[in-house]
Amino acid sequence: MGQRKPIVAGNWKMNGSCELIKEIAAVSTQVSSEQCEVLIFPPAVLLSEAISAGLTCGTQTVSEFESGAYTGEIQASLVKSLGANYTLVGHSERRSIYGESDEDVANKFAQAQQSGLTPILCIGETQAQREQGKTEEVVKQQLEAVIKKLGIASLANSVIAYEPVWAIGTGLTATPEQAQATHKYIRDLLSDYDKHVANALRILYGGSVNESNSELLFAQADIDGGLIGGASLKPQSFKAICESAKG
Ligand code: PEP
């Protein structure tokens, strides 16, 4: 992992409660901040509560627009003003359920950065794409949608989450070797654009990470922590996952 400080980020999706915020806040204080950065992505309606409890937070998505008549959308600048620092963009559930295209994701990435949020750009292939040998092609296209719009320098203030879609919420995890191979491909691809940006960038793995598989995944040279769904709702599991990330 070199000098890259690992991140363990919990994506609560449309789950969680004020009670869970208290429990996760309690366990996160037991994780050394030297060891890893702990981030929580609660539902947007719980953001203030989570920030007040001392958690470092972000939203699960943001609008690509600055402000205006977009009923129900989440305004990035308001998220920032509440004291949050991050947002996910392009989570596979946003892409598949809500039809977000690579272009939409690049626009959200841009809006997040303009508002002072650090985007965590989620990328990854479906099972069919992996079976067709298209994993690298897919992640390249997802990354280049952002690079073409905003330039490689924009990635300096971002985080990547590689999440094979077939591993999200399924209990199927990429093996450490499979995950490392794609993480290395991503870093090498970015290195061709800018070595410094590529070396400093944190690339998280996501997809059914739990306390039994996190240590081996996080030990891989190009894996800088994880984006955790289901297990981030279980305080003791989440704590164990955080402890397995070593800076
Ligand atoms: C996710 O939601 O990004 C995720 C990786 O979920 P899970 O850990 O449940 O597979």
For a mutational test of ligand 1's pocket, the pick from 8, 208, 238, i.e. the residue with the most ligand atoms closer than 8 A to its C-beta, is: 208
Q: What is the 3-state secondary structure (H, E, C) of the chain?
A: CCCCCCEEEEECCCCCCHHHHHHHHHHHCCCCCCCCEEEEECCHHHHHHHHHCCCCEEECCCCCCCCCCCCCCCCHHHHHHHCCCEEEECCHHHHHHCCCCHHHHHHHHHHHHHCCCEEEEEECCCHHHHHCCCHHHHHHHHHHHHHHHHCHHHHHHCEEEECCHHHCCCCCCCCHHHHHHHHHHHHHHHHHHCHHHHHHCEEEEECCCCCCCHHHHHCCCCCCEEEECHHHHCHHHHHHHHHCCCC
Average pLDDT, the chain: 96
Can you list the domains of the chain with their CATH numbers?
Answer: 7-243 (3.20.20.70)
CB 206 within 8 A of CB 165: no
Instruction: Report CA(118)–ligand 1 centroid distance (Å).
Output: 20
Q: Is 169 labeled as ligand-binding?
A: yes
Q: How confident is the model at residue 92 (pLDDT cuts 50, 70, 90)?
A: very high
Mean pLDDT of 182-195: 98
Q: pLDDT tens for residues 207-232?
A: 999 999 999 999 999 999 999 999 99
Residue 192: the pLDDT is 98
Q: How confident is the model at residue 1 (pLDDT cuts 50, 70, 90)?
A: very low
Active centre residues (catalytic) = 91, 163
Token duo for residue 168:
């999200």
Mean pLDDT of 106-134: 97
Q: What lines the ligand 1 site, CB under 6 Å?
A: 11, 13, 163, 168-169, 206-209, 227-231
Record the pTM: 0.97
Instruction: Report CA(108)–ligand 1 centroid distance (Å).
Output: 20
Mean pLDDT of 82-111: 98
Q: How confident is the model at residue 32 (pLDDT cuts 50, 70, 90)?
A: confident
Q: Is 99 labeled as ligand-binding?
A: no
Q: How confident is the model at residue 34 (pLDDT cuts 50, 70, 90)?
A: confident
Instruction: Report CA(68)–ligand 1 centroid distance (Å).
Output: 31
